[in-house]
Structure 1
Amino acid sequence: MSTEQYELNSPPFDSISAVRFSPSQNHPNSLLIASWDATVRHYDTSANEQKSKFEHRAAVLACCYADHAHAYSGGLDTYVRELDLDSEKVTSLGNHSDAVSALCHSKETGAVISGSWDCSIRFWDPRSAASQQASHKVPERVYHMDISHNNLVVAMASRIVHIYDIRNMDSPLQQRESSLRYMTRSLACMIDGQGYATGSTEGRIAVEYFDPSPEAQEKKYAFKCHRQTIEDVDHVWPVNCLAFHPIYNTFASAGSDGTVSIWDHKVKKRLRQYSKYNGAIPSVCFNSDGSQLAIGVSYNWDEGEEGAKTAERPAVWIRRTGEDTKPKKWSGP
């Protein structure tokens, strides 16, 4: 087994839509993988072992943890499900009228929040018999969501981004147009609660801040990445996923070019690019102490049916991380 990284046993059979580590400090090796093979798989990465598998009726697009024992999933069958990782029991909380495209859990309120292609955001309370608490219309299909304390960031079709305070969902705190000219492909909130980053189909990342003051907004910027010049031809790949390090607040980006880069957004520098993987990377995630980075590798249909004929089988790699994710001017512990 490589000291740098190793491949998980028993990966999904079809494209990977999400890899998510448990937020629990006591369970840093607990990992979920959602897939187009209509499953969510639960792994112990330290033992390199699949602990359980949850069957769904259609492709699973999103999953998230509430704690080490409870997780949530959603996808093309429109339902939001609670997964009990210990008993392997599945409970349906309810459904949207179209695919569930994004899920997150609020530590502050305990709510599970789902976003859908039906142009709505719904709040669920798994502890209540009537689990759906509220439904809120949004102007477009929800592509991605992430939460930072009480700030919920929702990236939608037509390059619309809304920022909500989940304690008052009557209207968004801010309505923004993406700083990127092409479709939003990825979104992640900073660990320090200051802002978020988005990635586009056109190989760019934007770093944004919540504070609407002119001083704070002057700090925002966008840059090109996941590009390569081959024989004088510029090749540009989508930025499929972003993930912030839970301690250093640096972030990883991964794309359809099969590369993962680590960025220090404060000094606008790339810290590291890992060796290329043998396929597109649809999802990455740091574990709770930042010592591992899960990297899902699978064909994501950028090249249509032709590309599928020669695509490698899906794989999930667990990369051990350390100094390579730390900012050069780190003043923390």
Structure 2
Amino acid sequence: MLDPKDFEVASPPSDGISGLEFSSQADFLAVSSWDNQVRIYEVQPSGATVPKAAYSHEAPALCVSWSKDGTKLVSGGADKAGRMFDVATGQTTQIAQHDDTIKCIRFLEQGNVVATGSWDKTIKYWDLRSPQPIGTVQLPERCYSMDSIGPLMVAGTAEKHVCIFDLNNPTVIFKQLTSPLKWQTRVVSCFADGKGFAIGSIEGRVGIQYVEDKDSSKNFSFKCHRDDAKNVYAVNDISFHPIHGTFSTAGGDGTVSYWDKDSKQRLKPFPKTNGQISNTAFNRNGSIFAYSVCYDWSKGYKHALPSNVNKIYLHAVRDEEIKPRTPKKR
């Protein structure tokens, strides 16, 4: 764990963790994993966790997303299906279908619409009342990572393409660009204010990108998740704090850091865990930071050993760790 005071989540998945997301209404944590399962945990004020529900895909589950009102959870997986879990009834229904793995899923804030991003090189939009997609967008390559906030949605694909969408006109790519980073995209994550996004690569680097051309002078990139021996690790996840707009990066080196993009400084480095950190998530008010420790597949299947740990921890976030700071005098 990153901090000896962190809480370990009870009854974790039996295989690697692929997605974490908190409900925006209560402290319910959704987890997708390589054992085909999606699990929901309730986090109690004491920090203890109670497993509340679980359902299955027919192949590894790779992504999760809550509806804004917290009543429904959607997930996608290698079974090429998007599924929806109704929290009140406990029922699961299939809501989406692709020709290949669904790697990314987002419950959009606009109405009852879910966006799915797939390795079949499309994004599809689904109205939960209809079995057919209400829109399809052809992507330049396979979808690797996708995030949305308000009207902004960003998808990072293979071959370093980045597609930006204005969800007021969702079937048209608003802007397409090449990643500012030299190597393969691992994650994209929207700023809390919706003005841009962060992008992380397999080569221990993060790019900060604004959507509007007028803000392009604020774009920059920085190195992270590297060590003194010149080893370079993937940036596996980036999570923005919902209140302060600062963010975390998590890497294949088993560390997490908190950063302030505006003052361009690291707020807090955490000590190394014995494992890689695959996914992270802040809860709705940013008081809890969840992170998963498991194999991140960065060295291929030969290193996917039965002895690898699969654990989820909860860190109580202190304000002084995550609040923005004034820029350092140069």
Report TM bin, short chain. over 0.9
CA separation in 1, counterparts of 2:274 and 2:24? 29
Identity %: 34
1:136 Cα offset (Å): 1.6
CA displacement at 1:135 relative to structure 2: 1.4
What are the residue-to-residue correspondences of 1:245-324 with 2, within 5 Å? Answer: 245-309=241-305, 311-323=307-319, 324=321
CA distance in 1, matches of 2:124, 2:20: 22
Other-structure match for 1:18: 19
After TM superposition, give the deviation of residue 109 of structure 1 in Å.
3.0
Q: Deviations over 1:256-276 (max 9, x none)?
A: 001010000101100001122
Paired letter, 2:146:
M
Residue in structure 1 matching 2:73, options 53, 71, 77: 71
TM-fit CA distance, 1:229: 1.3
Distance change >3 Å, CA 310–CA 80, structure 1 → 2: closer
Amino acid at match of 1:33: V
**Amino acid of the residue matched to residue 265 of structure 2?**
K
Which of these residues, 110, 115, 130, is aligned with residue 117 of structure 2? 115
Q: For residue 58 of structure 1, what is the amino acid of its counterpart?
A: A
On the 8 A contact 1:144/1:187 being kept in 2, the answer is yes
| Aligned-residue offset at 1:124 | 0.9
Amino acid aligned to 1:312: N
User: Would the aligned equivalents of 1:121 and 1:137 in 2 still touch at CA under 8 Å?
Assistant: yes
User: In the alignment, which residue of structure 2 is the partner of 1:200?
Assistant: 201
In the alignment, the residues of structure 1 paired with residue 269 and residue 231 of structure 2 have an alpha-carbon distance, to the nearest angstrom, of 17
Q: Distance in 1 between matches of 2:89 and 2:171?
A: 37
Q: Aligned to 2:322, which of 322, 325, 328?
A: 325
Separation (CA, whole Å) in 1 of partners of 2:305 and 2:80: 29
Return the alpha-carbon distance in structure 1 between the equivalents of residues 130 and 141 of structure 2: 30
Change (3 A) 1:153 1:305: closer
- In 1, the alpha carbon distance for the partners of 2:130 and 2:220 equals 45
Give the secondary-structure state (helix, strand or coil) at the position aligned to 1:278: coil
Task: Return the letter of the residue paired with 1:327.
Answer: P
Q: 1:275 to 1:311 in 2, by over 3 A?
A: farther
What code does the residue aligned with 2:316 have? R
CA distance in structure 2 between the aligned counterparts of 1:262 and 1:44, rounded to whole angstroms = 25
CA 1:179/1:296 → structure 2, altered by over 3 Å: closer, same or farther?
same
Output the amino acid matched with 2:41. Answer: Y
Structure-2 change in CA distance of 1:170 and 1:295 (3 Å): closer
Which among 41, 48, 73 is matched to residue 39 of structure 2?
A: 41
Q: CA deviation at 1:155?
A: 0.6
TM-score, normalised by the number of residues in structure 2: 0.93
Is the 1:278–1:312 contact (alpha carbons within 8 Å) kept by the matching residues of 2?
A: no
- Distance in 1 (CA, whole Å) between partners of 2:204 and 2:103 is 22
Contact 2:263 2:326 in 1 (8 A): no
Q: Report matched runs for 1:85-100 at 5 Å.
A: 85-100=87-102
Summarize deviations over 1:104-153 as a string: whole Å, max 9, x none: 12113331100000011111111x24452111211111111111211111
State the 1:311 CA deviation. Answer: 4.6
CA gap of 1:310–1:93, structure 2 versus 1, over 3 A, is closer
- Give the aligned partner of residue 179 of structure 2: 178
Structure 1 residue 3: Cα displacement: 7.9
Kindly indicate whether the alpha-carbon contact (under 8 Å) linking 1:104 and 1:147 is maintained by their aligned counterparts in 2. yes
Cα deviation 1:140-197 (Å, max 9, x = unaligned) = 1111111121111111111000111122234311111000010000111001111100
2: CA distance, partners of 1:278 / 1:313: 9
> Residue 235 of structure 1: SS of its match in structure 2?
coil
Q: State the secondary structure of the residue aligned to 1:218.
A: helix
> Normalising to structure 1: TM-score of the pair?
0.92
Letter in 2 for 1:110: N
Equivalent residue for 2:29, pick from 9, 31, 49: 31
Corresponding residue pairs, total: 320
Q: State the partner residue of 2:159.
A: 158
SS at match of 1:168: coil
Aligned to 2:218, the other structure's residue is in SS state coil
- 1:227 equivalent to 2:246? Answer no
Structure 2 residue runs without a partner (length 5+): none
How big is the alpha-carbon RMSD for the aligned residues of Structure 1 and Structure 2?
1.6
Q: One-letter code of the match for 1:204?
A: R
Q: What secondary structure sits across from 1:158 in the alignment?
A: helix
User: 2:231 aligns to what SS in structure 1?
Assistant: strand
Question: Structure 1 residues 136, 226: closer, same or farther in 2, change over 3 A?
Answer: same
Aligned structure 1 segments of 4 or more residues deviating by more than 4 angstroms? none
User: Can you give the 5+ residue segments of structure 1 that lack an aligned partner in the other structure?
Assistant: none
Q: What's the CA shift for 1:93?
A: 1.1
- Do the aligned partners of 1:96 and 1:116 also contact (CA within 8 Å) in 2? yes
